[in-house]
Structure 1
Amino acid sequence: MGRTCLGHAARRTANLLTRHYNRHMAVLGLELTQAQLLAAIADGSASSAAEIARFLGIDRSTLARNLKPLEVAGLVTRQDGKGRKVLPVLTQLGEAKVIEIHRTWLKAQEEVSALLGPDGADAVRTQMSTLRKAVHILESQQKPAADTASQSAPDETTLSGHQS
């Protein structure tokens, strides 16, 4: 199973990439997951915490756990949305942190892209997108699973519609 398993290859690659980005984000006192969450909040197009969770491919309880340290750090606060919805929003400190995150992420991204070559990064993104779409098709053909967040995650675009 090992060498031919797509799941194993994807997990190993994801773990390596996460470590690479985490090393860069560490200078900001963040991990990649926290940086991605702050960037998703900064996008501003989500109308609820549940929508942010779906976009990130996590459930709402994981989102709540990930928000806590960001709230404690003064980067995020909660705002009442429509109806009973509560929406995480960035504080001024959080907005400044997102600017730092973007610069730091760009450096990490450029390092990996440089090693892949001019067309390599695009080819990898295309293949990952194809793989995600294939798995979404397989999931949609199966009976509903307990974790619906990953099934409905719009991972092909950011919340505002730009390709990720």
Structure 2
Amino acid sequence: MSDIDFVEMGRTCFGHAARRTANLLTRHYNRHLSSLGLELTQAQLLAVIADGSASSASDIARYLGIERSTLARNLKPLEASGLIARQQKGNRKGLPVLTSDGQEKVIEIHRAWQRAQEELGSVLGAEEAAAVRAHMSALRKAVHILEDRKTSVGPVPPQKRF
């Protein structure tokens, strides 16, 4: 183990950097959403439901980047608090929809999100904010490429560039 540079590993790891950044960003948005009794994950889920373009729970989970089981766990408290409803479809619950309370809540979510977004944007500036979004998008695309290759052909050989 003495030949492994764990400090370098932590300093250069994309996953570590993304997780640290995600944790900080989540805390920032959660501070703005706390007065609504919500956290960012719940607010994002309500916003996706409000959008109405998802045709299945799988679409919602895929958009949020979570597993279907995680989605089901996150829907339960929103349903229990009366913010969403789901109709039965045979043996399964259908696509979630906002209740009237949920519709009011997403308007409040949007206002809180705008404040959080504007704060970050004012510190970053428009050009840097666009660059951050582009870099995050590139990182997601790279991981999707690797995941697609792994599921279609087995282990992925090292790549020189993306």
Q: 1:110 offset after TM fit, Å?
A: 0.7
* Structure 2 residue 151 is the aligned partner of structure 1 residue 143: yes
After superposition, residues 7-156 of structure 1 pair within 5 angstroms as 7-80=15-88, 86-143=94-151
Identity of aligned residues (%): 72
Aligned mates of 1:81, 1:42 — CA distance in 2: 20
Aligned mates of 1:54, 1:83 — CA distance in 2: 23
The runs of at least 4 consecutive aligned structure 1 residues that moved more than 3 Å come to 80-85
Instruction: Identify which of structures 1 and 2 has the higher relative contact order when contacts are C-alpha pairs closer than 8 Å and 6+ apart.
Output: 1
Aligned mates of 1:93, 1:54 — CA distance in 2: 26
Q: 1:143 offset after TM fit, Å?
A: 3.0
Aligned mates of 2:144, 2:90 — CA distance in 1: 30
Contact 1:81 1:87 in 2 (8 A): no
Aligned mates of 1:45, 1:83 — CA distance in 2: 23
Aligned mates of 2:115, 2:79 — CA distance in 1: 26
Instruction: Please tell me the root mean square deviation across aligned C-alpha atoms, in Å.
Output: 1.7
Instruction: Give the TM-score, by structure 1 length.
Output: 0.83
Q: Which residue is equivalent to 1:150?
A: none
- The amino acid across from 1:103 in the alignment is R
Aligned length: 144
Aligned mates of 2:101, 2:74 — CA distance in 1: 17
Per-residue displacement from partner, 1:67-91 (whole Å, max 9, x unpaired)? Answer: 1111111100102469966110100
Q: Structure 1 stretches of 5 or more lacking a match? A: 145-164
- The amino acid across from 1:57 in the alignment is G
Instruction: Give the TM-score, by structure 2 length.
Output: 0.84
Aligned mates of 2:150, 2:10 — CA distance in 1: 25
Q: Structure 2 stretches of 5 or more lacking a match? A: 1-8, 153-162
Contact 1:74 1:91 in 2 (8 A): yes
Aligned mates of 1:50, 1:139 — CA distance in 2: 18
Q: Which residue is equivalent to 1:156?
A: none
> Hey, which of these two has a bigger chunk of helix by percent?
2
Aligned mates of 2:81, 2:92 — CA distance in 1: 25
Aligned mates of 1:84, 1:70 — CA distance in 2: 18
Q: 1:141 offset after TM fit, Å?
A: 1.0
